[in-house]
């Protein structure tokens, strides 16, 4: 039995409907959306429209045209950051961000954008008061992850979003680790820009993602080219989503994404969240009982997502992950998880941690196997 516990990277397996939808689109539909008026092309366009509607429903978006499809959350974040910011702008962010935020911001810093980075505590949580203090000079943008991909620590977006709106500060939320797990209502949380991957909590295929852009907010495109719309204009269309979606759409991937979102909505986020966080709760209770093991991250479940990081005294995290795979067929991820600042913050740089991230298709038996395997590993080391 293979046990997959790396859902923070990519959810696996997917619900069967996702495989069927992607396969059917590749085999039977084939046509490019927006490129032709024959029936298959119209059906492909309808597929994208219905996927946009499903995503809008999931994230509380009133106008589905504000949902822009991308190839990943990384592309969505780059689109937001490079499309919005100009030399002289000021941005506030945190020490818990993924390289999908850190690296674009570093390039922008070298082009004249001022970056202010607010330190989290060793539990990965950034105090809202510290972020508000850093925003005293009215930056253009606050950008932060909803949940850390290293520790799972969940930030107080529900408090920060409304506060930023009152101050005239735009908010960009990286929902890579929270979409499909926690409620992300862009209106209720006053989120201006939301970047989401399709292949994690939404159960879609790799190569899918989206960016929500608040009404009346204009950003520059990353790519320009064919959109299937007005081909006479030398410039991309000003309206969304066409103006930010140049090139042929990933129809089969988006068909899978639509099926994934529909699975989420039919099953219920509350049901999925309860199941996954119960597994995380068990891990939080049992892992610290293993001699030498230290959990890194949120101090309580009310700020915990589904990613957990740990180290074991005297063991290289990479070696632990290797042995779990080789000897027990348990898949985890070791290292810095593309978030070096987060590891500096929690004190695990440069060796990193072992990350465990249960998903919808994991169960108590999987957790028991992991705990047993880690117990055997530490016992053999002491022997």
pLDDT, tens digit, for every residue of 265-314?
999 999 999 999 999 999 999 999 999 999 998 888 999 999 999 999 99
Neighbours of 216 (CB within 10 A): 6
CB of 25 closer than 8 Å to CB of 255: yes
Q: pLDDT tens for the chain, 383 residues: list them.
A: 899 999 999 999 999 999 999 999 999 887 788 777 888 888 888 999 999 999 999 999 999 999 999 999 999 999 999 999 999 999 999 999 999 999 999 999 999 999 999 999 999 999 999 999 999 989 999 999 999 999 999 999 999 999 999 999 999 999 999 999 999 999 999 999 999 999 999 999 999 999 999 998 999 998 888 776 667 777 777 788 988 998 889 999 999 999 999 999 999 999 999 999 999 999 999 999 999 999 998 888 999 999 999 999 999 999 999 999 999 999 999 999 999 999 999 999 999 999 999 999 999 999 999 999 999 988 876 54
Q: Are residues 357 and 230 in the same domain?
A: no
Pick the last residue of a domain from 267, 296, 324: 267
Please indicate, yes or no, whether residues 314 and 241 belong to a single structural domain of this protein: no
Q: Are 76 and 166 in a shared domain?
A: yes
| pTM exceeding 0.85 | yes
- For residue 279, what pLDDT is reported? 98
Structural domain count of the chain: 2
List Cα–Cα distances, 142 to 81, 84, 213, 244, in angstroms.
11, 12, 15, 22
CATH classification at residue 141: 3.40.640.10
Q: Which residue has the tokens 């978006």?
A: 61
Q: What phi and psi, each to the nearest 5 degrees, are found at residue 47?
A: -60, -45
Range of the domain at 186: 16-267
- Sheet with strand 333-335: strands edge to edge: 293-296, 308-312, 353-356, 333-335
Where is the domain boundary, 267, 291, 309?
267
Contacts of 103 (CB under 8 A, 6+ apart): none
208, 308: one domain: no
* Whether residues 106 and 203 fall in one domain: yes
User: Domain check: are 95 and 221 in the same one?
Assistant: yes
Q: Find how far residue 354's CA is from the centre of its chain.
A: 19
Taking the C-alpha atoms of residue 157 and residue 154, their distance in angstroms, rounded to an integer, is: 8
Same-domain check for residues 174 and 314 = no
The first and second tokens of residue 130, run together, are: 């510290």
Kind of pairing, strands 141-145 and 90-94?
parallel
Same domain for 250 and 322? no
Whether residues 212 and 289 fall in one domain: no
Same domain, 108 and 129: yes
Q: pLDDT at position 383, please?
A: 47
Domain termination residue (choose one: 221, 241, 267): 267
- CATH number for the domain spanning 350: value is 3.90.1150.10
205 and 72, same structural domain? yes
pLDDT in tens, 173-214: 999 999 999 999 999 999 999 999 999 999 999 999 999 999
Question: Do 326 and 253 sit in the same domain of this protein?
Answer: no
User: Do β-strands 193-197 and 170-174 pair in parallel, antiparallel, or remain unpaired?
Assistant: parallel
Distance CA(299)–CA(308), nearest Å, equals 12
């Amino acid at each position: 039995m293979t046990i997959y516990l790396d859902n923070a990277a990519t959810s696996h397996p997917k619900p069967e409907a996702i495989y069927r939808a992607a396969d059917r689109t590749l085999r039977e539909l084939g046509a490019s959306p927006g490129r032709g008026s024959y029936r298959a092309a119209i059906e492909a366009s309808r597929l994208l429209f219905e996927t946009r509607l499903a995503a809008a429903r999931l994230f509380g978006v009133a106008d589905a045209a504000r949902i822009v499809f991308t190839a990943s959350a990384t592309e969505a974040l780059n689109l937001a950051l490079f499309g919005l910011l100009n030399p002289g702008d000021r941005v506030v962010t945190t020490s818990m961000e993924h390289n999908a935020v850190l690296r674009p911001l570093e390039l922008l810093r070298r082009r004249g954008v001022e970056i202010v980075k607010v330190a989290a505590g060793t539990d990965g949580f950034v105090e809202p008061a510290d972020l508000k203090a850093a925003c005293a000079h009215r930056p253009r943008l606050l950008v932060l992850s909803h949940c850390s991909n290293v520790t799972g620590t969940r930030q107080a977006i529900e408090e920060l979003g409304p506060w930023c709106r009152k101050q005239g500060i735009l908010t960009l939320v990286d929902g890579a680790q929270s979409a499909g797990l926690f409620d992300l209502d862009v209106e209720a949380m006053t989120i201006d820009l939301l970047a989401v991957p399709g292949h994690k909590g939404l159960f879609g295929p790799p190569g899918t993602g989206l960016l929500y852009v608040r009404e009346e907010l204009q950003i520059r495109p990353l790519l320009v080219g064919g959109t299937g719309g007005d081909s006479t204009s030398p410039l991309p269309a000003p309206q969304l989503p066409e103006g930010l979606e140049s090139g042929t759409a990933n129809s089969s991937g988006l068909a899978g994404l639509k099926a994934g979102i529909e699975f989420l909505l039919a099953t219920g986020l509350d049901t999925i969240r309860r199941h996954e966080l119960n597994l995380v709760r068990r891990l939080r209770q049992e892992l610290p009982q293993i001699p030498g093991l230290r959990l890194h991250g949120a101090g309580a479940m009310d700020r915990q997502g589904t990613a957990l990081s740990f180290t074991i005294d005297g063991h290289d995290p990479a070696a632990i992950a290797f042995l779990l795979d080789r000897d027990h067929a348990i898949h985890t991820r070791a290292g810095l998880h593309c978030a070096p600042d987060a590891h500096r913050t929690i004190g695990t740089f440069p060796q990193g941690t072992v990350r465990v991230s249960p998903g919808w298709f994991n169960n108590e038996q999987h957790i028991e196997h992991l705990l047993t395997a880690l117990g055997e590993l530490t016992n053999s080391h002491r022997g």
